[in-house]
Amino acid sequence: RALGEPSAAAPTVTVFWGEPDGGTTPGAWDASVDLGVSAEGPLSTTVTGLSIDTTYYYRYYATNANGEAWADSAAGLTTDPDFTQFTHALPITFDGYDRAETLVDFPALVQLNEFTVPCFGYDQFTHPSNGADLRFADATGQALNYEVEQWDSAGTSLVWVQVPALSAGTTITAYWGNASAAANPPAYTTDGSAWSEEYVGVWHFNEDSGTVFDSSGNGLHGTPVDDVI
């Protein structure tokens, strides 16, 4: 019988994890945890020794006497940064929203520049060329997903920040200036994490020609027609 048939023996499950996505090659992962024999249903385990502000991937593998199978794809998670290690912080309050409804996982546009944002300077970044040390957190200190639509160290940068619960007066905080930050922005800034599953596609139309890229993570890229762009 196939591995997934109800009458098949319960499989032994292993979760593989690490900084690189090892795919379906066990030796390509940094580590693994044997979860033992598991019936159908949710699985969980505790992993220790993770580095701060780091993206890790994980993927489940199951096997029994009838065969073996991997989860369809790897999932990713990013550990929270240590916000005390950032030299600059800027509270951002959304005071223009006056509706009674609280917006959940709302992508809010944050504009950063040296002309209208007090005490903000690109030279304060460890990586001013791409803003790799930029981070956001809500009032509880939880790190927030974001996507940089445009980074312009000589002008205005456009950043979409996923706010977990936005209502009148909601405040989040932008952090930057961290000497230990990696030279490249976190993976969640480019994989569609800033957009909830309700967004089928997100197109900024910043391209002068060629492919119009979908930021939602669903890969629904477009092609300009009749030189519209």
Q: What is the pLDDT of residues 58-114, one digit of tens each?
A: 999 999 988 999 999 888 888 889 999 999 999 999 988 889 999 999 999 999 999
Q: Coil, helix or strand for 104?
A: strand
| Closest alpha carbon to 21 in 73, 82, 80 | 73
Quick one: pLDDT at residue 227? 58
What's the chain's Rg over C-alpha atoms?
21
Q: Coil, helix or strand for 83?
A: helix
Instruction: Judge contact between 17 and 31, C-beta under 8 A.
Output: yes
**Residue 4 banded pLDDT, cuts 50, 70, 90:** low
Rounded percentage of the chain residues whose pLDDT exceeds 90? 67
**Token duo for residue 17:** 């994890």
Cα separation, 126 vs 133, in Å, equals 6
Q: Are strands 157-166 and 146-150 parallel, antiparallel or unpaired?
A: antiparallel
Cα separation, 196 vs 104, in Å, equals 9
**Residue 210 banded pLDDT, cuts 50, 70, 90:** confident
Quick one: pLDDT at residue 179? 92
Q: Coil, helix or strand for 73?
A: coil
Highest mean pLDDT out of 43-47, 159-163, 165-169 = 159-163
pTM exceeding 0.85: no
Partners of 59 in the beta sheet? 16
- Residue 153, Cβ density class (10 Å: 0-12 exposed, 13-18 middle, ≥19 buried): middle
pLDDT of 153 higher than 70: yes
- Residue 88's H or E segment, with its range, is strand 88-94
Instruction: Judge contact between 30 and 17, C-beta under 8 A.
Output: yes
Cα separation, 107 vs 163, in Å, equals 6
**Residue 137 banded pLDDT, cuts 50, 70, 90:** very high
The HSE-up count of residue 61 (CA atoms within 13 Å, CB side) is 17
pLDDT of 37 higher than 80: yes
